[in-house]
Amino acid sequence: MRQFFRLIVLACLLVPATLAAKKTETVINVIPYPQSVEIGKGTFKAAGANFNCDQAIDAKSLNLIREFASRMTFVCGRTNSFATPVGLQKVLATGKMKGFFFLKDASKGPEEYSIDINKKSCVVRAAAYNGFLYAIQTLKQLTDVEIFSEQVNPSQKFLFPCVSIKDKPRFGYRGMHLDCARHFFPVEEVKKYLDIMAVYKLNRMHWHITDDQGWRVEIKKYPKLTQVGAYRNGTMVGKNFRSNDGVRYGGYYTQDQIKDIVDYAANLGITIVPEIDLPGHMMGALAGYPELGCSGGPYEVWTIWGVSDKVLCPGKEETFKFLEDVLTEIMDLFPSEYIHIGGDECPKTEWEKCPDCQARIKALGIKGDSKHTAEQYLQSYVTARIQKFLNDHGRKIIGWDEILEGELAPGATVMSWRGVKGGVQASAMGFDVIMTPNTYCYFDYYQSKEQDKEPLAIGGHLPIEQVYGYEPFDGLDGSQQKHILGVQANLWTEYIATPEHLEYMLLPRMSALSEVQWCQREGKDFERFSAAMRAESFKIFDTLGYNYRKF
Ligand code: ACM
Ligand code: ZN
- How many angstroms does the Cα of residue 278 sit away from the middle of ligand 2? 14
Give the pLDDT band of residue 232 (cuts 50, 70, 90).
very high
Q: How far apart are CA 413 and CA 445, in angstroms?
A: 25
Ligand that lies nearest to the alpha carbon of residue 360, given by its number in the listed order: 2
Q: Is the pLDDT of residue 15 over 50?
A: no
Give the pLDDT band of residue 19 (cuts 50, 70, 90).
very low
Ligand 1 touching residue 345 (CB < 6 A)? yes
Instruction: Name the residues annotated as catalytic.
Output: 211, 281, 345
Ligand that lies nearest to the alpha carbon of residue 313, given by its number in the listed order: 2
Q: Is the pLDDT of residue 280 over 60?
A: yes
- How many angstroms does the Cα of residue 353 sit away from the middle of ligand 2? 8
pLDDT at 24: 62
Which residue, judged by its Cα, is nearest atom 3 of ligand 1?
344
143 contacts 136 by C-beta, under 8 angstroms: no
pLDDT tens for 464-489 read: 999 999 999 999 999 999 999 999 99
pLDDT tens for 386-426 read: 999 999 999 999 999 999 999 999 999 999 999 999 999 99
pLDDT at 140: 98
pLDDT tens for 434-446 read: 999 999 999 999 9
- How many angstroms does the Cα of residue 357 sit away from the middle of ligand 2? 4
Q: Is the pLDDT of residue 23 over 90?
A: no
pLDDT at 7: 41
Atom of ligand 1 lying closest to residue 415 CA: 4
pLDDT at 21: 44
Atom of ligand 1 lying closest to residue 400 CA: 4
Pocket of ligand 1, candidates 177, 282, 417: which has the most ligand atoms within 8 Å of its Cβ, to mutate?
Answer: 417
How does the average pLDDT of the chain come out, rounded?
A: 95
Give the pLDDT band of residue 11 (cuts 50, 70, 90).
very low
Pocket of ligand 1, candidates 305, 311, 344, 444: which has the most ligand atoms within 8 Å of its Cβ, to mutate?
Answer: 344
pLDDT tens for 131-143 read: 999 999 999 999 9
3-state class (DSSP) for residue 363: helix
* Domains parsed from the chain with CATH numbers: 21-167 (3.30.379.10), 173-544 (3.20.20.80)
pLDDT tens for 193-225 read: 999 999 999 999 999 999 999 999 999 999 999
Q: Is the pLDDT of residue 14 over 60?
A: no
343 contacts 397 by C-beta, under 8 angstroms: no
C-alpha atoms less than 13 angstroms from C-alpha of 342 in its C-beta half-sphere: 25
Going by the DSSP 8-state scheme, the letter that residue 315 receives in this structure is T
Q: How far apart are CA 502 and CA 490, in angstroms?
A: 12
pLDDT tens for 246-269 read: 999 999 999 999 999 999 999 999
Annotate 377-405 with DSSP letters as a single string: HHHHHHHHHHHHHHHHTT-EEEEEGGGGS
Which residue, judged by its Cα, is nearest atom 2 of ligand 1?
417
- How many angstroms does the Cα of residue 81 sit away from the middle of ligand 1? 50
448 contacts 454 by C-beta, under 8 angstroms: yes
* Span 147-158, average pLDDT: 93
Q: Mutual orientation of helices 129-142 and 59-76 as an angle, nearest 10°?
A: 20
Annotate 490-515 with DSSP letters as a single string: B---TT--SHHHHHHHHTTHHHHHHH
pLDDT at 96: 81
* Span 282-297, average pLDDT: 98
- How many angstroms does the Cα of residue 422 sit away from the middle of ligand 1? 12
CA dihedral 449, 450, 455, 459 (to 10 degrees): 30
Ligand 1 touching residue 329 (CB < 6 A)? no
Q: Is the pLDDT of residue 288 over 50?
A: yes
Atom of ligand 1 lying closest to residue 442 CA: 2
* Span 284-312, average pLDDT: 98
* Span 381-390, average pLDDT: 98
